[in-house]
Structure 1
Amino acid sequence: MKSIIALVCLAGSLLAAMTLSAVSFAEEAYCTCRYCQTAAARASFGVDLGNDGPHYAPVRMVDVQHIKLDITPDFKKRTVSGTTTIRFVPLRKPIDVLKLDAVELNITEVKGSTPVAEFENSGTELNIAFEEPIPVGQESWVTIEHNCEPTGGFYFRTPEMGYPEEDTHCWTQGESHYARRWFPCFDYPNEKSTTEVICHVPSDMTVISNGRKLGESIDLEKQLKTVHWLQDKPHVNYLICVVAGYFDKLEDSAGDLQLGYYSQPSISQHAPNSFQDTASIMKFYQKEIGIAYPWHKYDQVTLWDFIAGGMENTTITTLTNNTIFSKETENIKTSRNLDAHELAHQWFGDYVTCEDWSHLWLNEGFATYYTHLYEGEKFGRDATLYGLYRDATNRVLPGGNNDKRPIVWKRYTNAGDQFDYRAYPKGSWVLHMLRSQLGEDMYRQAIQSYLKEHALTTVTTPELQAAFEETSGRTFDRFFDQWVYHARHPDVKIRYRYDPKLSLAHFTVEQTHKVDDDVMLFAFPATFALKCGDEMVYHTEEITDKKHEFYVSVPSKPEMVQFDPEYTLLANIDFDKPEEMWLSELENSDRCIGRILAIHALAKKKTNKAIDAIQKALASDPFFGVRVEAATALGKMNSDEALAALVKTPTQDDARVRLAVAEGVVGFYRPESLDDILETAKEEKNPAIIEKWIDGLAKYSDDLVTQYLRASLQRDSFRNQIAEAAVVAMEKSGSSQYVPDLAEQVTQHSGDYTARGLGKVLRALAKLSEEKEEKLQSLKIIAPNLNDGRTDVQKAAIAALGQLGLEEARPILQSYAEATNDEELSKAASNALAELTKDSNAQPRELIELRKQMQELEKSNTSLKEKLNDLEKKLETTEKKD
């Protein structure tokens, strides 16, 4: 104990000394350059700005007219060297210093049409000083030679990183602010220019970029291929894209437009599944939008471990290779929605682009909504409404209930804050409500006007509002104010009663949400459909007050009273109706949403009559989404009657419904049904549904389940989907009996898993290891995966080491926590160390806390030494100049 006290005193003295030392560095530690004080620039790091002030697009000092990139990626060293030439014209006043975003780039030379006096590279910004100011309107250029080992924006996938050699490739990702990490640029979406890419790669590789290919040639001596691309229509900087490597290509067309699909050779046999809808989507969008596809060609390229689902670079969409799927999954797996979303961006986001991130919904809301419209084109109106329903119930309504941020929100801390439900599904719903109120034809006219007027420019929300107002002749101030510039959505309570004497339906519509500075009282049309015998009565009432009462004359007592039958309002609806009315709605509603709402209302009743009605819908409703929701509702009821209804349902032809039935059945815990569950799982051929059955088996400890899970590790499936499901089930079981099986998967079969799949195996192995000796053995198996080269595997290995709870893992984790060249791994290691320290019971709490403090002190000390050295160098340089 005395030694612990002594160490604490020593640490306290050191901390005090370091605190005093830090004071002299206060100004040095807080950077006030334009880069660090600009929301857009710091967003690429995810750095909190530390203030609540609104953020706006930066003022453009020059008009960038053209960007020319001449680059050479080195696949062995994973570096990029190149020359960037930027042609520009000063705006409003002459400029003597040109400022460019440039993060961790090594700048070797800068030249210009006006002689360059000097340049300064801060590590985040490149400042180019000219010998004379460049006059307003004078076309000028700068050429910058640079190289880097990119930490973002430019990515390699090579054998040294754990990827198949035949799939070697590299690719770029610009949105939101990552282009600056591999070439100097004005990295913000309020600037558009034409672009040009010249890329030098090994002679057997393919290069794809924006626009049209001007040509390619091969240098036989260097064995390098040079490929030249030109995008001759202006687009924003984040849409510049280069992809190079080994790909298999499929070709298609939509009219005269050429379509290209590129995928990795190791999975290309399945690629036709993923791109089967592209031509159809293209034709539909050109008809629906009323403006021809505005670019030269359209390519799609899949990439190993892409950092997102997809990215709508102009004329070349990049996609996760997880979008490739096998036919065995039937219609459960599809790339159709991702395909449709990214293609819609070629108009909404590329042709017309949001000026700053607060108006991101003008990109993402349109892409989301037009994806739903294509579903309706392909499968009928109910498919569009079901997509909107799922967005509302799964994302917008739960996300927005307690969120005071509007869609257009300028107080974000980094650009990533805007990429959430507000820009995507809520933005989509705003467009749906506009289309519903205006009608399809007038809506289309407004969209055509919007795109034509702002073609190849950047926009903010007022431009879209103006297009709707000019087309319709009505004001949309209140609509945009409540839905776009204020937060949330209405909570609507509806009550109904019938007056038999007067044959009147009496309605009360009340908005029950809290109204304040952030959330308005909403104005919206409320439509009711009343079925009175063979006659349907429709009535629409404009709701503008907190509470609104009205009467509707009807020929007889309504047997069905439905609110918003066409599903046109985004709101939480509380409409309490008798069971008979919900039964009637399930039987008679024309649209799928009415039947779905009836199913979930009846499920809450839990009566035998309700269960029978839901089971009937599951067995025979014509729309798959209703059958899916019926299976889901029965699964959540947790009664023997509901389980019996699920089990007795005839086998469904639609795999999506079979999946929902499986999910519903396995949600119950019924040991007496285990034999039936195992038998059904063994009979199923679809790996996506098998995965669901396996997941449900995790709660059973029966020997037959153990045998089945172990056998599933050996089953062949695309991307090892079935084996991965078995791994997850083993982890959920909590049983250490599976440790040898998991260890074998790591040591003998790791190459069969995707990076994320292998990560699941590593974490499961760590979680299930119990005794000290077993944990040590697992540590030896897990640790080598730190050298895998794939970030997902490395992070999983780090997390697994922390989960083991062994002090022997601390030095390994410490080395990664202190590493500064990879922020992701460093953060993962710090989290693992925290987990390790939290779980450690072998040492006194004082010593554990002391160790944590010492670790932080060591980091701070290293940082201060670096700053001191940097300051001394600057002082030496200043003294030499003097």
Structure 2
Amino acid sequence: MKNFERSCKDRIFHIYKNAWCITFFIPEHLPEQAVKKHTLIKNFLAQIGLHYYFRTKFLYMNKYFLTICMAIATATAAGLQPLKAQVTETIPPGVDSVYRATPTKINDLVHTKLDVRFDYGKRYLYGKEWVTLKPQFYPTDSLTLDAKGMDIKTVALVNGKTTTPLKYTYDEEQLHIRLNKSYTRDEKYTLYIEYTAKPDELKVKGSAAITDAKGLYFINPDGTDKNKPVQIWTQGETESNSVWFPTIDKPNQKTTDEISMTVPGKYTTLSNGKLMAQKNNGDGTRTDTWKMDQPHSPYLFMMAIGDFKIYKDMPWKGKEINYYLEPKYAPYAKQIFGKTPEMIRFYSKTLGVDFPWVKYAQVVVRDYVSGAMENTTATLHGEHIQKTDRELLDGNEEGTIAHELFHQWFGDYVTAESWSNLTMNESFATFGEIIWNGHDKGKEGEDRSRYEKLAAYLRGTKNGISPALARYYYNDKEDVFDAVTYSKGSIILYALKNLLGDDAFYKGLQKYLQDNAYQNGEPQQLRLALEAVSGRDLSQYFNQWWYYGGHPVLDVTYGYNNGKATVHVKQIQDNAVQTFILPVKVDLYTGKNKVSKTLLINKREQDFSFDMSAKPDFIDFDADKIIVGEIKENKTIDDYTFQYKNAPSFANRVNALKFASHDKSDKAQQLLLAMLKDADGEIRATSIEALDLANPEIKAAAIPALLNIAKTDKATRARAAAITKLALTGDTEYLPLMEAGINDKSYNVIGASIGGLAKLNPQAGTAAISKLDADTKKHIQNALFQFYGADPKDEYQHHFTEALAAAASPSKAYPVIGPYIEYLFKNENPAITEKGLQDLAAAAKRLKIENVFASQLVPAYENMSAAKAQAAASATGAAKDNLQKQAAAFKKAAEVFKK
């Protein structure tokens, strides 16, 4: 599953200050999304004249840090090997001390048969269930099923065609059943349960990764919202499917299933497995029966019901590949999902295990509570993935599609045995994104994906501290859905592939999948499979990366003396973090000649030297960019220029870009000029934003390249950046470029052109905006808000008011709030100020984000109040009166949220 990092295809983190935009690479997934699978989150923080917008698929949040015993760190630093057995995890400060054991299996699910119908008005599901089980090992005369917030009508034992009522107790969470006798592990028994599921009456809370946990969702069931389809869909992970059917809702259970859904005849249904039958009931309803003959975990059960248009792609080895979309988006199904058959072929060949299920479908739903979910045979996506051809010009969600598909092997075919071992699902799915990018886009795409995953992980850490991958202590299972599990885990797997070689690594994955097919897995099983194939002892590697937490922070310095090039490495991560054992490749460049060396870092501080006839022009430490950690080097702009031109891996180029963007030297500007021709569109865009056009020589050299990029670049982000940069010159000769950009197909380019007109000719900008259709305005909302904020006329307020009122969730409101506050500050009408602050307060209450306002906006309001009061001190007449009223309004708003 993917969320924050929706997952993080990875996006850009924009910092807008005045007209400048500096971008850094950030993956979308959570988890680059924790967050759990791939949902578009736009986060906002505001202060005077400064907005932060976070556009990412996966906002990762690390709440807890893992502390490692000093004795272990000291022993490792002394060169001692860690114990071969699994390391005992240290409990992080503030984390529950209860060990999160894999759930004990008393009874095993065997088969689950459901017959469900829906009450759209009440938002109820009326269900009948026949569930077959058997004891795991020991005889038992009782059964406990998870069943959240239901009305239980009947619980009975099935005897052929008759049923025998059973005694039970129910506490709104679990159904405790007394069986008619004690059953042995060789005996199966079937229960019949009749019940009503009432998800909207359930009191549950979600998490950062999955924002709600009521399992079954009725979307616009009464049809009152004409802009939204009527839909029903489910979301099972982590343990929410027990809201709509009684089950043992744990990942280490596996069951086959059959689901019959009675729905209005006009709707399409989707579930796991194959559609076996459709029966017209003669009353306007139809009953569809879906059957899943291969066992899978209860959290992977799914239903989706709505007005979907089905696009049938070419089957893969006779297995159907279908895409379910709203009719409006059906014409673009192939553009959105069309690489799926090749992904299936690539993953099947790479893993040595063919796609294991009877079909693969992908469905897009409204108001989804996460990014996407890898339900067995039927992945469910949030609406962000559903795009027109115009929207696809500015980016697709291919990373999410690849991520969820890889789960069909890692997560569905073999499932993590507990949430503590979620790494066996999510680390692998995120790794699947990386290797797909390598297959589809070459080494450049693979390296870019790895770089973004590493950046996503490191953003949530400090001093090398982070939790372990296999996590047996946590406050809530949702805490495990974070950047450690997703991003860090994926690049640890990639580093392991690099260590063993592709052939041995993938043979090991094949063995792991085959040995544990339709069962459960944890890291030790993966270790044993890889050891069996490679013949290598991997205990140290797994202890270091799966069972200890943290990462290395290396302080690396270079020197040359008496014919020897020297490399000094010091591990400077927190002393509580382990000392890492790291094989590292180092490339030493003299002119165009390169010498490669391999170092073994296994102490807190080490020196390495190499015989060299001359001082190296450049040393590329960790040349393969495999280290899962941070490297701090004593490089100059000359070093970065050399690495950009002579050792141009993706990471080397981006790191050179980051350094040059902050360096004010002429050499840095020259390097940025060179980057205007980089192969990567994001690097071109970011180099444009960092150029200093106040320097006449740089401007003269840059303008021809900027004009060419603005007109012809294939990357719309680069084109938009060039248009914005040219507008910042204030030169009206570029007005025709902006006017032409208004008619472009790319929303990125249109938005940048609107911003350019705001700077060069606001009157022309107003006229251009009036000609835009509603759909275009919806897609360039941020650009329009910036335009209205640059010239804050009273008549513009209704745009902000309407957008804020239409925001149905915090993620939809945040992009409005920041520009609205800036507009209110720049406007000079106290009535506008008071109305706007009322709008914002009402939105905060409606969306339950008062705490965000209290923490982020109170300082902004106070600063704005002080600024208005200061301006009033030197004003006279009506202007003075207006400024004082505005100061009072901002002050009052701050005081309200303080309370």
Q: What TM-score results when the alignment is normalised by the length of structure 2?
A: 0.76
Q: Does 1:526 align with 2:610?
A: no
SS at match of 2:222: helix
Q: Does 1:367 align with 2:429?
A: yes
- The match for 1:293 is 355
2:716 and 2:749 in contact (8 A); partners too: no
Structure 2 Cα separation of the partners of residues 356 and 638 of structure 1: 58
Change (3 A) 1:387 1:706: farther
Change (3 A) 1:206 1:380: same
- The match for 1:509 is 569
Q: 1:725 aligns with which of 782, 804, 813?
A: 782
Q: 2:294 aligns with which of 233, 246, 253?
A: 233
Give the AA of the match of 2:641: L
Q: Does 1:157 align with 2:214?
A: no
1:524 and 1:544 in contact (8 A); partners too: yes
Change (3 A) 1:334 1:497: same
- Superposed displacement of residue 188, structure 1: 1.3
Give the AA of the match of 2:170: N
Deviations 1:572-600 (A, max 9, x none): 11122344333222111153322333333
Structure 1 Cα separation of the partners of residues 812 and 766 of structure 2: 16
Q: Does 1:245 align with 2:317?
A: no
Change (3 A) 1:451 1:646: farther
Residues 778-789 of structure 1 correspond to what in structure 2 (within 5 A)?
none
- The match for 2:192 is 143
Deviations 1:272-304 (A, max 9, x none): 321121111111111111110000000000111
Give the AA of the match of 1:614: L
Deviations 1:816-850 (A, max 9, x none): 7xxxxxxxx6x4579889999999989999xx999
Change (3 A) 1:828 1:615: closer
- The match for 2:628 is 570
Give the AA of the match of 2:178: A
- Superposed displacement of residue 432, structure 1: 0.8
Residues 257-656 of structure 1 correspond to what in structure 2 (within 5 A)?
257-329=319-391, 331-399=393-461, 401=463, 403-499=465-561, 501-502=562-563, 504-516=564-576, 519-554=577-612, 556-619=614-677, 621-624=678-681, 626-628=683-685, 630-631=687-688, 633-634=690-691, 647-650=703-706, 651-652=708-709
Runs (5+) with no aligned partner, structure 2: 1-62, 64-92, 201-213, 863-887
- The match for 1:795 is none
Runs (5+) with no aligned partner, structure 1: 1-45, 783-798, 804-812, 817-824, 853-882
Change (3 A) 1:538 1:397: farther
- Superposed displacement of residue 719, structure 1: 7.0
Deviations 1:458-489 (A, max 9, x none): 11111112122222222222222222222221
1:694 and 1:729 in contact (8 A); partners too: no
User: How many pairs were matched up?
Assistant: 756
Structure 2 Cα separation of the partners of residues 727 and 745 of structure 1: 13
Give the AA of the match of 1:428: S
- The match for 2:842 is 801
Give the AA of the match of 1:729: Q
Structure with the bigger RCO (C-alpha within 8 Å, sep 6+) is: 2
Structure 2 Cα separation of the partners of residues 348 and 409 of structure 1: 18
- Superposed displacement of residue 373, structure 1: 0.8
Give the number of the structure whose residues are more often helix, by fraction. Answer: 1
- The match for 1:101 is 146
- Superposed displacement of residue 716, structure 1: 2.7
Give the AA of the match of 1:737: D
Give the AA of the match of 1:527: K
- Superposed displacement of residue 667, structure 1: 8.1
Deviations 1:97-144 (A, max 9, x none): 321111111111111138444222211222222343334432111111
Structure 2 Cα separation of the partners of residues 830 and 534 of structure 1: 57
Residues 662-811 of structure 1 correspond to what in structure 2 (within 5 A)?
662-663=720-721, 666=724, 670=728, 672=730, 676=734, 679-680=737-738, 682-683=740-741, 685-690=744-749, 693=752, 704-705=761-762, 708=765, 711-712=768-769, 715-716=772-773, 718=775, 720-729=777-786, 735=792, 737-742=794-799, 745=802, 800-801=841-842
Change (3 A) 1:709 1:54: farther
SS at match of 1:234: strand
Change (3 A) 1:183 1:534: same
Percent identity of equivalent pairs:
24
Change (3 A) 1:676 1:334: same
2:142 and 2:178 in contact (8 A); partners too: yes
2:278 and 2:286 in contact (8 A); partners too: yes
1:507 and 1:551 in contact (8 A); partners too: yes
1:494 and 1:573 in contact (8 A); partners too: yes
- The match for 1:84 is 129
Deviations 1:212-239 (A, max 9, x none): 121111111x221111111111111110
- Superposed displacement of residue 397, structure 1: 4.8
Deviations 1:608-630 (A, max 9, x none): 233223212322x3344543553
Structure 2 Cα separation of the partners of residues 644 and 531 of structure 1: 33
- Superposed displacement of residue 744, structure 1: 8.3
Structure 1 Cα separation of the partners of residues 610 and 232 of structure 2: 65
- The match for 1:64 is 109
SS at match of 1:343: helix
1:712 and 1:723 in contact (8 A); partners too: no
1:295 and 1:315 in contact (8 A); partners too: yes
Deviations 1:700-725 (A, max 9, x none): 7x694376268537523757444522
1:429 and 1:570 in contact (8 A); partners too: yes
Give the AA of the match of 2:587: A
1:214 and 1:229 in contact (8 A); partners too: yes
Structure 2 Cα separation of the partners of residues 488 and 831 of structure 1: 30
Change (3 A) 1:599 1:738: same
Q: 2:173 aligns with which of 113, 120, 124?
A: 124
Structure 1 Cα separation of the partners of residues 222 and 763 of structure 2: 37
- The match for 1:75 is 120
Structure 1 Cα separation of the partners of residues 537 and 898 of structure 2: 64
TM-align CA RMSD: 3.9
1:170 and 1:245 in contact (8 A); partners too: yes
- The match for 2:10 is none
Q: What TM-score results when the alignment is normalised by the length of structure 1?
A: 0.77
Pick the structure with greater CA Rg.
1
2:735 and 2:760 in contact (8 A); partners too: no
My pick for the range that moved more, 769-778 or 590-599, is 769-778
Structure 1 Cα separation of the partners of residues 180 and 625 of structure 2: 64
- The match for 2:878 is none
- The match for 1:111 is 156
Structure 2 Cα separation of the partners of residues 356 and 633 of structure 1: 46
Structure 1 Cα separation of the partners of residues 188 and 540 of structure 2: 44
